[in-house]
Amino acid sequence: MLRILDISEAQELFTRRSVRLAEAERVVAPILEHVRRRGDEALIEYARKFDRVELQSIRVQLPSRDHEGADFLRAIETAAKNIRAYAEMQLPRETWADCGDGRRLGQIVRPLESMGAYIPAGRYPLPSTLLMTVIPAQVAGVRTICVASPNPTAEILGAARWLGVDNVFRIGGAQAIAAMAFGTASVPKVDRIVGPGNIYVAAAKKLLAGEVGIDFVAGPTEIVIIAAEGDARWIAADMLAQAEHDVEASAILLTASRDLAERVAAEVARQLETLPTAPVASQAIRNNSAAVLVRSLEEAVEASNRLAPEHLALHDAALLDAIQNAGSVFLGPMSTEAAGDYASGPNHVLPTSGVARLRGGLSSADFVKVISVQELTRAGIASLAPAITTLARAEGLEAHARSVEVRLG
């Protein structure tokens, strides 16, 4: 079931599988335009067509009391506390510096006015994603927070109520992205849209980037595990935890130990026998996953950096200094990726498909603007005048040079 490949045979795994967005973009483009022109009316039509529901109202009325049970609420409280603390740690700070030469420089931090979170609710409804998208925005100080979900479950609604979010809308797919990007009579227009979704959600975010801010265009989820040795049961369980997300998910073990690779492959097969999500996970393991044999851990790190995985598990923490590209890193054999999915604190909304070469995961910094500020005295502008006027005239911008000289005449 789980292939064991030499690194020389694994190039297909390391050639990033591109999300086939072109066809999806052609499908969603008219949907976006329809929502832009007709607003709520279009949203109700698409809910009937795609979600098979007759909506009287797009806005969801949140429950007035808890229905989810004490265990669920305790889990929400634990996860939210850790997510909030980590988001506060990531938030950019206002800073100032007096340079001593007539320049006072600094930065101020201002939150976005509004944001929209897309929360999947198909095969696996994800209240955890509600926490991961909303809490960083709250930490940043965003005033208007909107949540769109095609079929919000009691758990999603309970988490929204617990967080104090009342702008919850029963809309999904590309039409939900369009509604939050353009605004409708019911749905506020937002500054940034975040959260995972299917290929049509990804295509809509790509097409609307610029009209609205986005986090990134997400593809199938993925994990790379680098281990020289370890408990095959743990490694297999981590690979299956990723594989059960989607038939397109990818789980790759990089190791120099054939013995470990064989034990993990056997363990994956054994665990699949009792896994309720095996119909999904087995396809992801068979088609997109492997134990890849490398000559050394250094070669494993090089391969991982080329791949730039969404999740990277390093069983040897000493390898961290060599990591250049990863969405989120899990250090040591006890640090299962599932902890990051739910409750350890770092965000689980992460770049896929190689985008980790460019940025890390969602954070409170995505919901603020860092604005530069400068204040000059007469002595400060005088000391800079030769450089400013020379550069301005080299560029043919005479008024720039004169705007300095007029202050010093």
Catalytic residues: 310-311
Helix (H) or strand (E) holding 290: strand 290-293
Helix (H) or strand (E) holding 400: helix 398-408
Residue 331 tokens, joined: 């250090």
- CB atoms near residue 237 (< 10 Å): 17
Cα distances (angstroms) measured from residue 308 to each of 25, 159, 329: 25, 32, 11
Nearest 5°: CA angle at 364, between 359 and 370? 80
Residue in this structure with the two tokens 């297909």, named with its chain if needed? 12
Distance CA 213, CA 233 (A): 41
Phi, psi of 31 (to 5 degrees): -65, -45
Residues with Cβ within 8 Å of 16's Cβ and at least 6 positions away in sequence, in order, are: 307, 353, 354
Under DSSP, is residue 30 helix (H, G, I), strand (E, B) or coil? helix
Distance CA 247, CA 201 (A): 17
Do the strands 250-255 and 192-194 form a parallel or antiparallel pair, or are they unpaired? Answer: unpaired
Amino acid at 240: L
Helix (H) or strand (E) holding 287: helix 278-288
* Helix axis angle, 21-38 to 199-208, nearest 10°: 70
Phi, psi of 325 (to 5 degrees): -130, 120
